[in-house]
Structure 1
């Protein structure tokens, strides 16, 4: 039914408001995107053939992110700037470690996964830039309706890692910053597979 309505709009270039009796003319240009092969769907009867030919004027195939890795850093930076402007925050910059982590990821969630990561990266702060690999962990699994417990777990891990980076692995400072006892902190390190030594630039006193 929806395909029939869309076809009618494209053919007649007009719509009728709900409850109205007069058609409203439209001056529009339609840009449609899909991850489905519409030609195959039309051949199999899953998509109206007449609607397919109405839409199929100019086709621009877009390869998956993993097939155009050179675009990933630029797209990530764009999404980060948009998220930062929306939140009133400063857009972080990517160093070589962060770029390497982005390029090494397989991106099963494609552009949506990249955008989600950029937004999370902005919210957690620029101090996290060389620990982007921690943020990448689990993001792909969260591109499809993430559960609240999983999101809380990922945020907790990211927050601890961010604090470790900021305080260069100094446990006392991290515990004070997070407001948790040492035992709780070490329990959470074990839970998330983190080590303070990985963030320590100099030995703790």
Structure 2
């Protein structure tokens, strides 16, 4: 009988141990709570293929030029001032700004002129081709030639012209380029010109097209 009593006690202890073990195991294997929070997915932004600013808002400012330049003129370009061929290509709006620096003591003057024109996107390449052709000299002239220049915008070319006159030799650098639906021409003309400064100015002009 004593053996039976001990067996009953042992069975009860085992039952308690198993019950406790089951509780421990159930607490260990409790499934992780579900996180129902939605994780936002970043959507890439698409840049507009057309300029979102007006021609005037993309013009160079005095702060974009070397400190010795001053404003000469700023004006919107009138439709009547556009040649028929470019009107037919859908010219939309334009703006022109010019700056100059002068040293009267040595009769030295340099001007910078920027012209900005907007067209339908499909016609900008043709506009560029026509303007590029207009830069080429009508006859072989060793004083007019294309110069190496960093690519500006979608396509670009730079040209150097030399002319002798009563006031000495004048050099003109002309850079034309397109970006989006914008065609631009920037010219630096004078008895003193700075190719490196022109590169910096052109890069600032391109960055304003957005």
TM-score by length of 1: 0.23
Normalized per residue, the structure richer in helix is 1
- The structure that has the greater radius of gyration is 2
User: Taking CA–CA contacts closer than 8 Å with sequence separation of 6 or more, which of the two structures ends up with the larger relative contact order?
Assistant: 2
